[in-house]
Amino acid sequence: MANLLWLQTGSCSGDTMSLLTADGPSIESLIRSGAIELLWHPSLTNAPSGHLARLIAAIEAGEQALDILCIEGSLITGPVGTGMFDAYKGRPKIEIVASLAAQAQHVVAMGTCATFGGIPAAPPNPTDCTGLQFDRALPGGLLPADWRSRSGQPVINLAGCPVHPLTITRCLAMLAAGLPLELDFLNRPTAFFSSTVHQGCTRNEYHEYDMEDHQLGERGCLYFNLGCQGPMTLANCNSALWNGRSSKTRAGVPCFGCTSPDFPRDVDLFRTEKIGAVPVNLPLGVARAHYMAYKNLALKAAPDRLKDREMEP
């Protein structure tokens, strides 16, 4: 049994909606089985007005233990460092978050906003917001890079806009069960961030043989021309399907790299940046010369069924 407090900062509620969409484990099954006790969730808790303020005070005073603190949303420091663009009862949320984080066994950043700053942190970052322990790709956000929770771990970064539903509930179940949670170089759990979005994409065969689409709405690969970040993005979208059904790339929507620190990239999102005929950003870890050689060969080997777009993604 682990208790959990979920706070929203500069958020769209998308990660909460994602939480409600997870069906195995689901939030209700985690509660029913006794894995999670919900101290507070802004959308789900049924408690009288004033309950949250009392709860925060009790945790800050050390009277109430806190196992898991989940933060959803960017940490807004504006205007001019006051944090008052996002306040709770006249107190900046960033101050409340920092104070609660000091008391928590585990702190989880729910979504790319809480992890890296996300969309609100895109230029010109009008609210001066940041992530919990990263500011875009730079270590150190609201909390410094060397900050550790009571369990000794940094902030656990569940990146994604939103986080994949099952990543949320599986991670909470792991924490509640005391299972090990190894983190990657951006403090994202390797259990969910060790494959690319490209892996499992049903347009892979088109990519393999260099059958690249030039306009949306078709069946081919979206990487070369239409901005798809799938080969560079670590996330499980095509190995744990969304809503039990599909993924953006399967449905013909480019991956926008929403689990990465630079999301949303400051370029046209439906267009691939190129040097000559080759994308600037190549699949993770691939050398340019090798990639060009491989693609030239692949194109020559492409079967007609792909050239004619007969294969359904």
Partner 1 sequence: MSRVTLDIDLNRVEGDLEFQVDLEGKRIVDARCIGTLYRGFEQLLIGRAPKDSLVITPRVCGICGTAHLYTAVLALEHLGRIPVPPQATLIRNLCLMAENVQSDLRQTFLFFTPDFVHPRYAGHPLAAEIAAAFTPLKGRTVLGCLAASRKILEIVAIFGGQWPHSSYMLPGGVTRGANARDLVDCADLVDQVSHWFAEEVLGDDLEAWLALDSADAFFAWLDEPRHAASALGLFCSVARSVGLQAIGAGAEYFLSGGACHDPARWQPPYGEQKTLLAAGLYDGRQHRLESFDPGLIEEHVRHSWYRPYPGGRHPFAGETVPDHQPDSDRYTWAKAPRYGGKVIETGPLAELLAGGDRLLASLLAAEGPSAWLRQFARLRRAATALRLMRQHVADLGRHLKEPHFLPPADDALEDGEGFGLVAAARGMLGHWVQVRDGRISRYQIVTPTAWNASPKDSDGRHGHWEQSVIGLELADPDDPLELGHIVRSHDPCLVCTVHFASRDKRFRYGV
By beta-carbon proximity to partner 1, the closer residue of 162 and 279 is 162
Residue 280 is a binding residue for partner 1 (CB under 8 A)? no
Neighbours of 286 (CB within 10 A): 12
Give the residue among 238, 245, 223, 244 at the shortest CA–CA distance from 291. Answer: 223
Cα angle 96, 100, 104; round to 5: 165
**115, 167, 249, 260: which one contacts partner 1 (CB under 8 A)?**
249
Nearest approach in angstroms of CB 120 to partner 1 is 5
Q: Which amino acid is at 262?
A: D
Is residue 20 part of the contact set for partner 1 (CB under 8 A)?
A: yes
Please tell me whether residue 15 binds partner 1 under the rule CB under 8 A. yes
| Binding to partner 1, residues 206-225 (CB under 8 A) | 215-217
79 lines the binding site for partner 1 (CB under 8 A) = yes
From 35, 69, 128, 135, residue interacting with partner 1 (rule: CB under 8 A): 128
124 binds partner 1 (CB under 8 A): yes
Paired tokens of 133: 């322990």
- DSSP assignment letter at 120: G
10 Å CB burial of residue 276 (0-12, 13-18, 19+) is exposed
Closest to 223 measured CA to CA, from 189, 245, 198: 198
3-state secondary structure of 288: helix
| Interface with partner 1, residue 26, by CB under 8 A | yes
CB of 117 to partner 1, least distance (A): 12
Under rule CB under 8 A, residue 16 binds partner 1: yes
Size, binding site for partner 1 by CB under 8 A? 80
Output 112 or 157, the one with its CB closest to partner 1. Answer: 112
Stretch of 62-70, 99-107, 266-274, 296-304 lying at the interface with partner 1 (CB under 8 A)? 266-274
Q: Does 34 bind partner 1 (CB under 8 A)?
A: no
Task: Confirm or reject binding of residue 33 to partner 1 (CB under 8 A).
Answer: no
* Chain-centroid distance, C-alpha 170: 14
In the set 80, 177, 275, 289, which binds partner 1 (CB under 8 A)?
80
Question: Which candidate, 280, 284, 266, 77, places its Cα nearest to that of 197?
Answer: 284
Question: Which secondary structure element, helix H or strand E, spans residue 106, and what is its range?
Answer: strand 104-110
Nearer to partner 1, 168 or 295 (CB): 168
Residue 247 interacts with partner 1 (CB under 8 A): yes or no: yes
Q: Which residue is associated with the tokens 């260099």?
A: 210
- Closest approach, Cβ 97 to partner 1, in A, equals 14
Instruction: Give the burial class of 185: count Cβ atoms within 10 A of its Cβ; 0-12 exposed, 13-18 middle, 19 or more buried.
Output: exposed
- Selection from 190, 188, 225, 193 nearest residue 206 by Cα: 225
Q: Which stretch binds partner 1 (CB under 8 A): 80-88, 272-280, 285-293, 299-307?
A: 80-88
Shortest spacing between CB 20 and partner 1, in angstroms: 7
